[in-house]
Amino acid sequence: MPQPIIYWIRRDLRLHDNPALHYAVQSGRAVIPLFIMDIQEKKLGAAPKWRLGLGLEYLSGELEKVGSKIIFRSGKPEAVIDELICQTGAESVCWNRLYDPVSRQRDEGIKKCLAARSLEATSFAGALLFEPWTVSTGAGGYYRVYTPFWNAVKDREVQCEHPSPQRIKAPTEWPVSEKIADWKMGQAMGRGARIVRPFVRLGQVAAVDRLSTFLDEDAAQYPDRRNIPSVLGTSGLSENLALGEISPKQCWHGGQRALYEGVQGAEIFLKEVVWREFAYHLMFHTPHILNSNWKPDWDKFPWKTDEDDPAVLAWKQGRTGVLFVDAAMREMYVSGRMHNRGRMIVASYLTKHLLCHWRIGQKWFEQCLIDWDPASNAMGWQWSAGSGPDATPYFRVFNAETQLEKFDPKGRYIKQWIAELDQTPSDTAKSFFDAIPAGWNLNSKMGYPTAIMSMKQGRERALNAYETRGF
């Protein structure tokens, strides 16, 4: 009997269209699915960490249906893998690739270590349609602008999906596993976990189900409804894509099918999937996008960096007195997500009206979003702030009041998330006060705050600062 193979699980919590798992199963060996709690996972934001824990528990259940399970271990990945190899006699390790600089460096090191001992280490493209080094401009560089990137990939052939394994061969004896519950991955969520839980779409089955419903029912109205924050007009799949509960390939093929059938919103949906690819393209080629101004000139811009600034606190707490901003911030706290339009508005407000550094917003999103993704989050914030590639022009300052009239004329979104102004507040709006930390000392009886910064004055101040930005 051949020696077992270790399948290292990272952000690919699915059985369907999982190239590394497929490879492991096809090898004919016994497969040992392994998840490692290493320093990177320990440092995840509160909501993403909690959500990852839920995803892992679900995946473990899925694996059990086909005769397998997850071995949970904590420690440095090299050491953990080494130990598991010793304990099981495995001669091979496989995984789906990640593209952030820290993971890349780590994985490269592990690959070298294993190769030096004549052990097989194989990695696969499971998280992206178009890996960053396979897309380049005519001059051979990477893309800095979305539209040419889109044009470069839109007609590419995308490989078929890998089928789900019907059965996964188990080792004759399972190695010991830690208990994921002991890791307390939801600890930092505090009492928010109970509130957010009903909003989670957990696991590959629900994700595929949502993709089908979206393509069959919602995609036709996607061009208009995706901009309305009070309705589910988007696919809402970011949460599942972030953890690999659905693959971009599944989205791509589904979208292509809809396009072929003449569904109105199909192309926009495909473009959105490619925006995710573009974010990874940028992160791969310019990793500094994650933590400093992509355009270094912006280092001179006088954003406020004090995270304890009362304005920053008001922004985080959804108490700026600007309805659209506050509704969106509360939506994030209660549901673990935020509508795309909300993200643009709160980001414009923080960086332009309040003149606060985009890093403050980026870090807060990293704590709060269950669909948090390093590449998309960084790109989005830098786009809003103006410091990023292909960014919005400096004079484009969102007016949260105008936006409300345009995209929420009946006040439905506000009713969903703001309790104070309402005789009979909605349950979601009330639940905000149950989700937030008790230390914030807020309750729905406090009255809605007056605006900490007027739309007009904030706009003028921002335009001034951005015009004389000193470079």
User: Closer to DNA at the Cβ: 139 or 160?
Assistant: 139
User: Closer to DNA at the Cβ: 102 or 455?
Assistant: 455
Query: Rounded CA gap, 426 and 330, in Å?
Result: 13
| Residue 121: how many other CB atoms lie within 10 Å | 18
Determine how β-strand 31-37 pairs with β-strand 92-96: unpaired
Site string for DNA, 61-100 (x = CB under 7 A): ----------------------------------------
User: Closer to DNA at the Cβ: 29 or 353?
Assistant: 353
**Helix (H, G, I), strand (E, B), or coil: what is residue 32?**
strand
152 near DNA, rule: CB under 7 A: yes
Minimum CB distance to DNA, residue 239 (Å): 17
303 near DNA, rule: CB under 7 A: no
Query: In sequence order, which ranges of 117-265 are alpha helices (DSSP H)?
Result: 146-153, 192-196, 203-213, 222-225, 238-243, 248-260
| Residue 179: how many other CB atoms lie within 10 Å | 7
Q: Are 417 and 429 in contact (CB under 8 A)?
A: yes
Query: Rounded CA gap, 157 and 150, in Å?
Result: 14
Q: Are 428 and 417 in contact (CB under 8 A)?
A: yes
Query: Rounded CA gap, 67 and 441, in Å?
Result: 49
124 near DNA, rule: CB under 7 A: no
144 near DNA, rule: CB under 7 A: yes
User: Closer to DNA at the Cβ: 295 or 363?
Assistant: 295
Binders of DNA in range 339-358 (CB under 7 A) = 340-341, 344
User: Closer to DNA at the Cβ: 199 or 394?
Assistant: 394
Of the candidate residues 393, 439, 447, 470, the single one contacting DNA (CB under 7 A): 393
Of the candidate residues 35, 50, 143, 417, the single one contacting DNA (CB under 7 A): 143
Minimum CB distance to DNA, residue 148 (Å): 4
Of the candidate residues 228, 397, 414, 451, the single one contacting DNA (CB under 7 A): 397
Query: Rounded CA gap, 91 and 295, in Å?
Result: 45
Of the candidate residues 145, 181, 313, 421, the single one contacting DNA (CB under 7 A): 145
Site string for DNA, 189-228 (x = CB under 7 A): --------------------------------------x-
Q: Two tokens at 395?
A: 């004079």
Minimum CB distance to DNA, residue 228 (Å): 12
Q: How many CA atoms lie within 13 A of 385 on its CB side?
A: 33
Query: Rounded CA gap, 203 and 55, in Å?
Result: 6
155 near DNA, rule: CB under 7 A: no
| Residue 448: how many other CB atoms lie within 10 Å | 14
Q: Two tokens at 276?
A: 């995710």
- Contact window for DNA (CB under 7 A) among 26-34, 131-139, 208-216, 409-417: 131-139
**Helix (H, G, I), strand (E, B), or coil: what is residue 280?**
helix
Minimum CB distance to DNA, residue 296 (Å): 12
Query: What is the CA 286 to chain-centroid distance, rounded?
Result: 19
Q: Are 266 and 219 in contact (CB under 8 A)?
A: yes
Of the candidate residues 204, 235, 362, 392, the single one contacting DNA (CB under 7 A): 392
Return residues touching DNA (CB under 7 A): 137-139, 141-149, 151-152, 227, 272, 275, 340-341, 344, 380, 383, 390, 392-399, 402-403, 406, 455-456, 459, 467
